[in-house]
Every structure is written in C-alpha cells, then in structure tokens.
Amino acid sequence: MDTPVKVGLVGCGTISRIYCQNAKYLEAIDIVACADLLPERARARAEEFGIPRAMSVEHLLADAEVELVLNLTIPRAHAEVALAAIESGKSVYNEKPLAVTRADGRRMLDRAAEKGVRVGCAPDTFLGGGLQTCRQLIDEGAIGEPVAAVAFFLNHGHESWHPDPDFYFQPGAGPLFDMGPYYLTALTSLVGPIRRVTSSAQITFPERTITSQPKNGTKIQVNTPTHVAGVLDFANGAVGTLITSFDVWPTDLPRIEIYGTTGNLSVPDPNTFGGPVRLRRAGEKEWSEVPLSHGFVTNSRGIGLADLAHAIRSGRPHRASGELSYHVLDVMESLLEASAAGRHVDIVSTCDRPAPLPTNLPETRVGA
C-alpha cells in the first residue's frame, strides 16, 4: 500500500503502550494523534512514542487527518467512543469486547454501515503464528472434520495482584467478558460460528477482599457471575465446552483442544500469539509439536488494526471484523441469558470465518 492510514488513539492507559510500540513497524498505520480523559497521560504517551499531537477526545474526533480511531478506553466506554467516531465519519477499532451489551454492539455496526465506515475489534491474537498454524492444519485436514472442542480459562481472580480489581467483578466483566473474547474468537476462527448455547453460571464468592496494593483490605461486592460453564453448538455440527472462572485455583487443564474425525489438535493460549501447537493423529501414542507456519509469534497486538488499515486501502474484508466481534459478544450475552432462563438460547448473529493470513508474510505488513 502506498499511504498508511492515519490513526487517532483514544485511551492512553497501560494497553496503549504495546499498540504504540508495534505501530512503529506496521507500515499500514501511522498514529498521528492521541487523547485521554487525563490530558497529562496523553501528553506522556505522545512524548514517549513521538506521536505528533496530544489533544482532547473531542478534538481528536473532529480532526480531519484522522481516518481510523483506535479505541482503547475501558469497556463500558467502548460504544460511546466508537459511535462518536463513526458519527465523525471515521472507522474504528475497539479493544475487546466490542461493547458490554448486544444492543450497543448492534447499534455500532448498523450506524457504521450507514456511514460507510468500518468497525474492527480485538482480540487479534488469532492472527498470531500459533493460531494461524492451527488454522492451516485444520484447513488442510490434519484432524479431519472437527467434531468437538473444549476451552478452559480458570484462575482465582485479580484481587491478589491487580492494583484496582473491582471492575473485574462487575457487569460487563467477570471471566466471561474479560477473557471469553480470546477463547471464543479463537474457536470461531478455527471451527466456525456458533448457532446455539446453554450454560450454568454462578457467583461463588459474593464478597472478595483485595490483597494487592494500594487497596489492600478493601472489600469488593461481586455483581456478575464468576464461574460460567457453557455448551456451544457450532453451525457445522461440532459441540464445544467453554468454562471461564475466577473461582478456581491453578489447574492442568488445556487452554483449547479441537477434536476431529482423524486426530486432535492442542491449541496454544489464545491470549498469546505464539505456540506451542501440538498434533496427535488417530493411532498415534504421543502428541507431536508442529513447527509454526506463520510469523507474529511475540506480543503483536495491533496486527488486527494494521489488517483493517490495509483492508481500507485495498477494499478487501478485514479479519478482526465488527461482525466477528459482535458474534462473540452475542454468544457471551446469550450464555448468561441461558443460565438465568435455564434453557438453550439460539444465536441470531453469525459471521464468516476470517480469511487466514498468508504464510511468509513480512512482519511489517499484514494483509493480502
């Protein structure tokens, strides 16, 4: 592509640092402005990474040079900032999740379609070398047809280490909305969209005590499920099991495994970009590690943003799309609804499996 897409960054918190670092070598994007509710934080990030302008959110959204807004605000602000960017005629790329409600996510996509702009969303870890290797193996038939999948994210919560963990135990977060996007995006990329779900969800510990600094001893009232066990019926007939929990001490469960008619695939942590990837074909007694077929194996957050920028210039579909992230949001909200209602919930949304990345793609360029 000839000209990089001009990006305006909104939200200069911790996660913005890795995006700014990686933007230096992703040729499709050029961060030209940044903004934050705390002006000093925007100025600090601009100085650290040589971003030309630090400004208010309002000025950034009105800036004619900015074509694409990178929205790294807290989840409950995702929809408000994204809709404002869309109204300004700009495409937007959100950190995960797309929004905290299905209604906000739908409004975002519908308005973007009316305005002729694009919506993208993290996570983009499914574009990393580990999950792209898994995608290639499945597409090549290494395990036959997928018939089942399991995905597990289990730990004991954030109150022992996070400096301000209260948010993780409120609606819009919890283990499902915090970490579920990584697992469900990976599963959708590898197996396909989901047509129906059911689940059981609970709050195991209604009150938690912070043991990290600076709020050691502060009590947290838990207002969202912290253990969610779901069943996922995929459109292609495969059946999945998903468990996300903040209530469990360390376990040896796998992150993700895909079971096929002729073999099994052990998928790496979907919150990372690398491996290991392991394969066990029918009749084999041991797993074998598979060399990674793709690059982007270190922390490559921002490749989904760069892929969106490349797609804007070339006119092709982008991979970390609004439709994919909306489907994931729909599934997560439906899992909580299914538990509350004690029934299966049909998933109204769907999406295409995002196109795989080419092999041997230079790590300065995402696309094609």
120 and 155 part of one domain = no
Beta strands in 53-170 (DSSP E): 53-55, 68-71, 91-94, 119-121, 146-154
317 and 266 part of one domain = no
Give the predicted TM-score (pTM) of the model: 0.95
Residue 338 lies in a domain: no
Report the alpha-carbon distance of residue 368 to residue 355 in Å, rounded: 10
Q: Among 239, 268, 290, give the residue marking a domain's end.
A: 290
DSSP-assigned letter for residue 236: T
Residue 174 lies in a domain: yes
218 and 245 part of one domain = yes
Residue 95 lies in a domain: yes
Considering its fold, how many domains does the chain have in total? 2
Q: If we measure between CA atoms, which residue out of 361, 362, 332 comes closest to residue 347?
A: 332
Q: Please check whether residue 208 is in contact with residue 161, taking contact to mean a CB–CB distance below 8 angstroms.
A: no
36 and 182 part of one domain = no
Q: Please check whether residue 126 is in contact with residue 104, taking contact to mean a CB–CB distance below 8 angstroms.
A: no
Residue 148 lies in a domain: yes
Residue 361 lies in a domain: no
194 and 97 part of one domain = no
pLDDT tens for the chain, 368 residues long, are: 679 999 999 999 989 999 999 999 999 999 999 999 999 999 999 999 999 999 999 999 999 999 999 999 988 899 999 999 999 999 999 999 999 999 999 999 999 999 999 999 999 999 999 999 999 999 999 999 999 999 999 999 999 998 889 989 999 899 999 999 999 999 999 999 999 999 999 999 999 999 999 999 999 999 999 999 999 999 999 999 999 999 999 999 999 999 999 999 999 999 999 999 999 999 999 999 999 999 999 999 999 999 999 999 999 999 999 999 999 999 999 999 999 999 999 999 999 999 999 987 776 666 55
- All residues at 6 or more sequence positions from 133 whose CB lies less than 8 Å from its CB, including other chains: 275, 277, 290, 291, 292, 293, 294
Q: Among 272, 290, 308, give the residue marking a domain's end.
A: 290
Q: If we measure between CA atoms, which residue out of 15, 9, 13, 69 comes closest to residue 35?
A: 9
Q: Where are the alpha helices (DSSP H) in 116-236?
A: 129-139, 174-190
102 and 138 part of one domain = no
> Which CATH number characterizes residue 79's domain?
3.40.50.720
Residue 364 lies in a domain: no
pLDDT single digits (tens) 41-96: 999 999 999 999 999 999 999 999 999 999 999 888 999 999 999 999 999 999 99
Radius of gyration of the chain (CA): 20
231 and 277 part of one domain = yes
Residue 336 lies in a domain: no
140 and 271 part of one domain = yes
Q: Calculate the CA 44 to chain-centre distance.
A: 26
Pairing of strands 68-71, 91-94: parallel
> Which CATH number characterizes residue 201's domain?
3.30.360.10
Instruction: Give the residue numbers spanning the domain of 198.
Output: 129-290
111 and 160 part of one domain = no
